[in-house]
Structure 1
């Protein structure tokens, strides 16, 4: 689907939240499933280091992933963060791996 039809489809997939406002839909880079933005974790690159952006306010391009061991491991294994964040060269993923292991 492209063009206008794709935009209509995305709007239909957005889930309603309090007050009738729509919650944006993002795609998890780990499992490729679409989910509401509020149910995903945003990840950004700062100085070559992959870090979680829990409040989704850090500047720059972000990648969205479910905060589960399966999705984070899939994204790391498939190098999905490198592609989604459009960085050249290797990323330091130890920070996100350490935080993820500590939390779950």
Structure 2
């Protein structure tokens, strides 16, 4: 969603909106519309800058991405360097 590069579904992080918050959904089990994002801080920054979350999730206004940002940062720290 942020960098617009294609990847296999298992390599991406599903994101949903819950009460005005962008919530990571790694197990893809939360109800509702979801959007997929690389679990990379740079990709998240691009998505936020482009205002892609409200558009992809078909919501009005802005969404809080603080929790999502923490999850992506923690995932990036655990990932092995390529």
Measured against the shorter chain, the TM-score band is 0.7 to 0.9
**Aligned with 1:97 (options 69, 73, 78):** 69
Residue 72 (str. 1) matches residue 41 (str. 2): no
TM-score, L = length of structure 2: 0.84
| Structure 2: gaps of 5 or more residues | 78-82
Structure 1 SS opposite 2:28: coil
- Of structures 1 and 2, the one scoring higher in RCO (CA 8 A, sep 6+) is 2
TM-score, L = length of structure 1: 0.68
| Structure 1: gaps of 5 or more residues | 1-28
Larger Rg: 1
How many residue pairs get aligned? The number is 76
Residue 84 (str. 1) matches residue 28 (str. 2): no
- Superposed CA RMSD: 1.2
| Structure with more strand by fraction | 1
CA distance in 2, matches of 1:102, 1:39: 16
Paired residue for 1:25?
A: none
CA distance in 1, matches of 2:74, 2:10: 22
Matches within 5 A, 1:43-58: 43-58=15-30
